[in-house]
Amino acid sequence: MKHTEVKNFGKPDEVREFPHGRLEVVKIGEAAVGRATLQPGWRWSTALKPTAKTESCQAPHFQYHISGVLRIRMDDGHEFDCRPGDVSMLAPGHDAWVVGNEPVVVVDFQGMANFAKAK
């Protein structure tokens, strides 16, 4: 028999706070889905690089962008913006930061199991 489950970000299984950001994680089935809220001034390389202990973010991401503008720079130099309504798939090896004065909110279906977790 198949398992059915419903979770809500209003009651996350785990909350991780970091400089200029917050991640709420719901664990459903064998997946961890995260909702990240990133405030103006947030940048992966300053907020999470010390925790990750890597030169760039090594988590793959499959995200739906709800609000704000998130700029991504891949390790190869390719740079682009993700905006509300966008769906992005990011390979490991990138930096990202909030552009402008609006918080970025993304729901990530792939890369949040260990995101912002001390090693």
Residues 38-62 pLDDT 10s:
999 999 999 999 988 999 999 999 9
Residue 117 domain-assigned? no
Rounded CA-CA distance 11/77 in Å is 38
Q: Which residues of 36-62 are buried (b: 16+ CB within 10 A; e: fewer)?
A: bbbbeebbbbebbeeebeeebbebebe
Residue 8 domain-assigned? no
Residue 4: partners with Cβ closer than 8 Å, 6 or more residues away: none
State yes or no: pLDDT of 29 exceeds 60.
yes
Residue 62 domain-assigned? yes
Q: What domain range includes position 59?
A: 15-108
Amino acid letter, 48? L
Spatial contact of 57 and 48, defined as CB atoms under 8 Å apart: yes
What's the structural domain count of the chain? 1
Residue 1 domain-assigned? no
Residue 21 domain-assigned? yes
Residue 77 domain-assigned? yes
What CATH number has the domain bearing residue 41? 2.60.120.10
Full-model pTM: 0.91
Tokens 């552009």 locate to: 99
